[in-house]
Structure formats: C-alpha cells, structure tokens
Structure 1
Amino acid sequence: MADDGEIPRKLNDEFNDDDLFASAIEIKVEAKADISLEDDRSNDLSVVEEQSNNLSAADEIDLNSDSEFKDDVDDTNAKHELRSEPEDIFEDIPEPKEVKIDATPVRPTLETSVTSPRTQSYSNYVGTTIEEEKIVPEESDKFITISVKDPQKIGDGISSFLTYNVVTRTNIGLFKKNEMTVSRRFSDFLGLHDKLAEKYLHKGRLVPAPPEKNVVGTTKVKMAGGQTEQEGKLPEFVERRRAALERYLIRTAIHPIFQVDPDFREFLECEDELPRASNTSALSGAGVLRLFNRMGETVTKIAFKMGESDPWFEERHQQLETLESQFRRLQASLEGLYSHRRELAYATAALGKGLALLSNGEDHAGLSRALAKMADLHDKLEGVHNDQSNADFYILHELIKDYLGLLGVVKDVFHERVKAFQTWQHAQQMLAKKREAVDRWESTGRSDKVAPAKDEVLEWEAKVNRSQEEFDSISKAIKKELERFDLQRVKDFKAAFISYLEAQMKAQDKIIEHWETYMPEAKAIA
C-alpha cells in the first residue's frame, strides 16, 4: 500500500493521464528499437573482432594493403554510424534495459475508463450531447452500461407506487444476456443496498449509498392527479430520483466485486418481480429497530475512543473530515446558485410577457415589432437560463451530494474497523482471565478444573488470533478501497467539470446568438 505522501502525487497524475501515457508509449517503442540496434551492433562488432583476431594470429595479411577488408570494415562502421544517428535521445541512459518500461501495464485513460455517474443523467437537461462511455472495472475489453428510464405511476391514491425500467448492456460472461430490461420499484433499490451492505460493509468495502427517502415528495406524487396525469408529466422530484437511482447503479457496477455479486446480477437480470423488501419501509418495525440500532452505534462512537496504532488511518480521518466540510460548503453555494438561476429564468419570462403586452399597445409599427421580437428573445433566454440551472444541479450539485453520501459510507467502514478492534481487545481480555483461572486452579491443586480451563484457554487463543486476522484484513481492505475512492473521485470531478464548462460555454454562445439575431430588428426602428 502506498504511504501517505504518495496519495497527492497520484491524484495530480490523474489530470494528465493522456499526455503522460502517450509519451510513455512512445518511449517504450523507441526503447525497443534502441535495444534491437544495440544487439545488432554488438553482433557486427563481434564478427569484426573475430576476423581481425584470426588475421593477426595467422600473420599472413597486411590490413593496410588489403583494400577489400578495409572496405568491409568501413562499410560496417558506416552502418553503425547511420544506425546510431537517430538514437541520440538515449545517450544519457547507461543501459537500454533501464528504459524498457513495457513490463508495467498502462492504466486506461479517461476515454476508455469509467463513465461519470452523471453522464447518463444530465444529458437530457444540458444542451450538449454527451457520449455514453464504458464502465471498465478491471479489463478494457469488459464493459457494462446501466440506465434507468421511463418512471411510471402504478395505481391511484396512497397505495400507488412508481416503477422504473432498468436497462443493462454488457459483455461480461457471468450475465445471462448482453442486453436486459427489468422493472424495479424504489424499495427494490433499497433492498439491494441492504443485501450488499450486510455482506461487504463489515469487510471494509465501500458500498455506495442509495438515494435517501423523501416522504414528502413521495406523498405528493402519490396524491397527484388531474392535469398532471392527463398531460403524462411527473413532478420534478421523480426525475431527480430517477437520475439518483441511475447514478447509484452505475457507481455500484464500477466496483469489480459488487459487479459480479449474485444479488446485483439478479437485480439486473431477473425479469420477475423481486420479493418485496418490507424492512426498507421507514414506518415498519424493522425500520424502527434500525433507527434504534443507529442511535446505539452513535453513542458507541462517542463513548469509545480507539487508541490508533496506525498513523495512516489517523491522517486519513482528518483529511476526510476536512473534505466533508469543504463539500458541504460547496453544496450550499451550489444550492444558492441554482436558486438564483431559477429566479433569473422566472424574471426573464415575466419580462418577456410584459414586453409582449407593451408591443400590443404600441401604435408605432416598427417599435411594436421590435418589442414583440424582444419578447420572443426573452422567452428563448428563459430556456437558456433553465438549462444553466439544470447544469448547476445535475452536474455539480448532485455530484457533491453523491460524494457526501460516500463519505458517510467511509465513516461507517471506519466504525466497522473500530468494532473489529473492540472484538479483538475483548478476546484478549477474556484470554487473560482464562489464563489466570488456570494458574489459580493449579495453585490450589484442583486438577479437575485445570483441564477444562486449559481447553477454554485454547479456545480463546484461537478467537484472539481470528479477531486479529479480521482486524488486519479489514484494515488492509479499507486502505485499498480508499485508494480506489481517491482515483475515482478525481476522474468523476474531472469529467463533471469538463461537462459543466462545456454546458456553460454553449449557453453563453446561445445568448450571444439570440442577441445578435435581434440586433437588426432594433436597428430597423425608424
């Protein structure tokens, strides 16, 4: 595992993957060519030395008078000069073996790597067309793409619910088909998360968090009717949840372990309705019990302070606390930006309506036409501002929200490590008590108690060893998971920032285009 000092360097390298590895490939090819030339050169020189040794030993030929042999030597030297001319780049390298780098696999660049979880969710809201990329967990020739589409309301009233179509495309052999479409409820997504968390969280794996429940939004959707259902439109809350569910599945599929998990594959493959996950309901008995368990764990976290022996975990904990604080401030700023752009869109629309009314009451034909065109202009600007606000929300705000959820998962994994440490310490304490009991029975001469006590000592020694192995195992797994977390975080933010800048640039181009189109109308007023 890399030490603390190497993490920032890896993160900085992620921003230059394309140039870095392109140059590495060029060096690899040139290095191979140089090695082959060195081999040819050494072979030719050995031939010349062997011939000269034979001539000097026989003492029968004068090299100064034998023009044919001189020509051969000159030709050989000329060939060496011609071959060595383009290889000046390796003059400072003592041995060709030091520049042979093809033994290290080249990491995939962004174009062949994981698609950002926002790629498929915000493409409908931003004007730019975003190409769907592959999710490559380990090997570049394996991929899986997941999209959540077509939310539909089933039933009426409080008993109604929403379903989503989950479309999966993959070439991984463990899946039954290359393309699958299944219908899932929101509770199915929560049930999938509970299954994965139960199997992997205590092992130190970062199980992505699903979207949070929203009782108010769900109730509004259930009780919605009339004009909304007739128009075939669902509230904005539904679209936000759909995008969040899609990002959740993509983030889960990125992980090489979760991707091939039987429960995850069943979720994507099984065309039948999954068993209802009743314990996911907030008002169920399991939900109330889960709430009390969380309260108990919170108290335990506050009361128990683990004496950290590994400085890596202490430093990482401080870094993650700082990162969470920065994310929360950025999220608040993005929420303000989103609301301001929404207000700007509403104000622009209101101004357009006012200009339309003013144009109807204007007697001057040229001025009336100019005002009407300006009203149309502001209607178009309203759409641009709405696109900008959607980009603020779906590209940046939701990215920050997802990573705040992941930081919560990291805290849960750290707590699992603390629980493993507590189990280990408890086993050590019990082992010490059992050994004291053996000494006490031996000192009092109670031979009938000594044998059972020694058996208990052996049992607790095994528990101590097993607990220590579990603690070391979860510590190692957490380090590996956090390394993946850092690399993926850089990729996600890089892709999101690029997409966000492209969306803002396109919005500004549209604004300029709309105003330039209007300029002739303003100049035509006489």
Structure 2
Amino acid sequence: MDPDFVERRRIGLENFLLRVASHPILSNDKIFYDFLTEVSASVSRPPSDQADSRLKALNATFRVKNPDKRFTELKHYSDELQSVTSQLLRVRARVADRLYGVYKVHGNYGRVFSEWSAIEREMGDGLQSAGHHMDAYAASIDDILEEEENYADQLKEYLFYAEALKAVCRKHELLQYELETAAQDLMSKKQQREELASGTVRTFSLKGMTSKLFGQETPEQREAKMRVLEEQIQEGEELLQEKKTECDEYVRNAWSDMERFTVQKDRDLREAMISYAVMQISMCKKGIQVWTNAKECFSKM
C-alpha cells in the first residue's frame, strides 16, 4: 500500500477526530469514546435502516406544506457550495496535471545539457552543472504535488460538509412533515367531533353516505363514538405538542451547530487558500532560483 496515501488518510482521520472532540455533544458520545478506547478493531454500532429513512426523507421533501425558509436557504447554499468546491477541485487537478508535464519536460533539458557537455571542453562543466539543476527541478514536482494534495483534501472535506448540511435539512423536513401530519390528523378528529355533536356532515365521506342509507346513529352509539374521539383528540394534542417540541429543539440545536461550523468553515477555508497561495509563490521562487543558477552556470562557460 502507498505510504503517502496512508499518511494522508491518517491526517484526515486525525482532523475528523479533533473536530468531533471539539463538539460539545459528540465529544461525550459513547460510540466516539469506544472508538478511541477500544483495543479491537470492531466497534458495535446501532442498526439503522438507511433505505427506509431515505424514503421517508424523500416523501417529506415533496409533501411539506410550510417549509422553514432558513433551512430552504441552507439547502440551496449547500448545493452551491458543493458545486463551486467540485469545480475548484477539478480546476486544481487540471492545473496539477499540466504542471507535472511542464516540470518533467525540464528533465529533457538536463539530459540534453549532459549529452552536450560530453562533446565540449571549455563549456562542458557549465553545461553539466546546468543539467543537474534542470534534473533537480524536474524531480521537485513530486513533492510539490504531494503538498498540493494535502490542500485538496482540506477542500474535499467541505464536499462532505455540504452533504452534512443537506442531511440536516432533510431531517428538519422529516420532522416538519411529521408535525404537519399530526396537526392535520388532530384537525380532522376535531371536525369529526363537531359533526358528531351537531349531527351534520360538512364534507363528503363514507360516514355521510352510511347515515343516508341506514339512518342516523342511536344516542348510545353517538356517545360511545364521542368518547373515543375525545380520547383520540387528547392523544393527538399530546402528540402534536411532542412533535412541536421535538421540531423546535432540533431547529435550535441544528442552528447553533450551523453557526459554529460556519465560523470554523470560514477559518479553515481561508487558511487553506492562503497556504495554497504561499505554496504557489514558493514554487515559483524555486523555479526562478533554478534558472538563476543555470544562468550562473552559463556565465562561467
């Protein structure tokens, strides 16, 4: 296995663990603690039905009637962030490929200068020295691209960050959908209670058709149904309050995390871009130094 690849993965894992450790809730999670302290390689995880949860999230996305504007904007932002980050990584990869070719072609200078030095007497030493500088210049691209990959990995991390934002939005849509469903069910039960109390059916329903075909219900039947409806309404109100509390708590916690991660994202990307620019400047300076050394070699011929 490529040791450089393993080292990059190790650095990525270390950065991830540091992020988890800095989180006020995740840092105290049992799974995280077991991962850090478990001697064996396997750490048990609670089972999850990903297919079912994805289906529910997809269903909620299209059926939520009153989406939270903040989460809608966050979802759009995550799409745009993922798009521009992907484009930036593709541009960097193309530039790196061309740069690799340019550097390696300089190795031809080294070969030609070395061959030329063999047939010259007075210019031989200067040509050979210049050839050595060109060879060193051509070989330096491997370390440069390895350093570039580290910065690319930092950008790739925010591709996953964008996916995490989408997951947060999908979770909120699911909670909002469950809240709206509970509210709709409760409203339906209350409407049934009003219809049962007044003896009129406002909307077309099976109950209305049954009443017309078989006559009105007896007072005892109506009272029994009323008791059942009262119980269902009470349960529905409790469920609605539970869903509302759950949704509000999720929004509060999620938005707190979003604000914290936004600050961290801005800081990380700013540092990565500055470091990348400094690396490019250093690379150009090394190129200038190589050609300056070659010029001195030519001057001594």
Amino acid at match of 1:508: C
> Is the Cα contact below 8 Å between 1:384 and 1:510 reproduced in 2?
no
Identity of aligned residues (%): 20
Amino acid at match of 1:411: K
> Is the Cα contact below 8 Å between 2:110 and 2:135 reproduced in 1?
yes
> Is the Cα contact below 8 Å between 1:352 and 1:374 reproduced in 2?
yes
**Equivalents in 1 of 2:293, 2:232: separation in Å?**
88
**Equivalents in 1 of 2:78, 2:43: separation in Å?**
36
Q: Secondary structure at the match of 1:414?
A: helix
**Equivalents in 2 of 1:470, 1:357: separation in Å?**
77
Amino acid at match of 2:174: K
**Equivalents in 1 of 2:30, 2:53: separation in Å?**
27
Q: Secondary structure at the match of 2:42?
A: coil
1:266 paired residue among 22, 34, 54: 34
CA separation of 1:298 and 1:313: change in aligned 2, threshold 3 A: closer
Q: Does 1:428 align with 2:183?
A: yes
2:103 paired residue among 322, 341, 345: 345
Aligned match of 1:255: 23
Query: Which digits, 9 at most, give the CA deviation of each residue in 1:438-493, with x for residues without a partner?
Result: 44555542223332332221111100011111112222222222211221111112
Aligned match of 1:489: 265
CA separation of 1:251 and 1:345: change in aligned 2, threshold 3 A: farther
CA separation of 1:258 and 1:389: change in aligned 2, threshold 3 A: same
RMSD between aligned alpha carbons? Answer: 2.9
CA separation of 1:253 and 1:347: change in aligned 2, threshold 3 A: farther
1:416, CA displacement in angstroms? 0.4
Q: Secondary structure at the match of 1:366?
A: coil
Larger strand share, 1 or 2:
1
> Is the Cα contact below 8 Å between 2:57 and 2:173 reproduced in 1?
no
**Equivalents in 2 of 1:483, 1:331: separation in Å?**
25
Aligned match of 1:242: 10
Query: Which digits, 9 at most, give the CA deviation of each residue in 1:337-357, with x for residues without a partner?
Result: 222222223323344344434
Which residues of 2 match residues 442-521 of structure 1 at below 5 A?
442=197, 443=199, 444=217, 445=219, 446=221, 447-521=223-297
Query: Which digits, 9 at most, give the CA deviation of each residue in 1:477-519, with x for residues without a partner?
Result: 2222221122111111222123223323333333333333343
Larger helix share, 1 or 2:
2
**Equivalents in 2 of 1:521, 1:339: separation in Å?**
30
Aligned match of 2:167: 412
**Equivalents in 2 of 1:505, 1:435: separation in Å?**
71
Amino acid at match of 2:178: T
> Is the Cα contact below 8 Å between 1:338 and 1:393 reproduced in 2?
no
Amino acid at match of 1:275: S
How many residues align? The count is 280
Q: Does 1:374 align with 2:141?
A: no
Amino acid at match of 1:425: E
1:401, CA displacement in angstroms? 1.2
Amino acid at match of 1:369: D
Instruction: Give the TM-score, by structure 2 length.
Output: 0.79
Aligned match of 1:181: none
Amino acid at match of 1:312: R
2:63 paired residue among 304, 316, 322: 304
> Is the Cα contact below 8 Å between 1:391 and 1:500 reproduced in 2?
no
**Equivalents in 1 of 2:273, 2:279: separation in Å?**
10
Q: Does 1:363 align with 2:119?
A: yes
1:298, CA displacement in angstroms? 7.0
> Is the Cα contact below 8 Å between 1:435 and 1:457 reproduced in 2?
yes
Structure 2 portions without partners, runs of 5+: 200-216
CA separation of 1:524 and 1:336: change in aligned 2, threshold 3 A: same
1:275 paired residue among 39, 42, 45: 42
Aligned match of 2:86: 328
Query: Which digits, 9 at most, give the CA deviation of each residue in 1:229-257, with x for residues without a partner?
Result: xxxxx265434433332332233223222
CA separation of 1:311 and 1:524: change in aligned 2, threshold 3 A: same
1:399 paired residue among 147, 151, 154: 154
CA separation of 1:305 and 1:355: change in aligned 2, threshold 3 A: farther
Aligned match of 1:136: none
1:428, CA displacement in angstroms? 1.4
**Equivalents in 1 of 2:174, 2:13: separation in Å?**
30
**Equivalents in 2 of 1:453, 1:411: separation in Å?**
39
> Is the Cα contact below 8 Å between 2:190 and 2:233 reproduced in 1?
yes
**Equivalents in 2 of 1:255, 1:515: separation in Å?**
50
Which residues of 2 match residues 75-90 of structure 1 at below 5 A?
none
Q: Secondary structure at the match of 1:275?
A: coil
Aligned match of 1:316: 74
Q: Secondary structure at the match of 1:365?
A: coil
> Is the Cα contact below 8 Å between 1:356 and 1:375 reproduced in 2?
yes
Q: Secondary structure at the match of 1:256?
A: coil
1:421, CA displacement in angstroms? 0.7
CA separation of 1:474 and 1:278: change in aligned 2, threshold 3 A: closer
CA separation of 1:246 and 1:377: change in aligned 2, threshold 3 A: same
Amino acid at match of 1:335: A
**Equivalents in 1 of 2:119, 2:139: separation in Å?**
30
CA separation of 1:463 and 1:238: change in aligned 2, threshold 3 A: same
> Is the Cα contact below 8 Å between 2:64 and 2:180 reproduced in 1?
no
Query: Which digits, 9 at most, give the CA deviation of each residue in 1:11-65, with x for residues without a partner?
Result: xxxxxxxxxxxxxxxxxxxxxxxxxxxxxxxxxxxxxxxxxxxxxxxxxxxxxxx
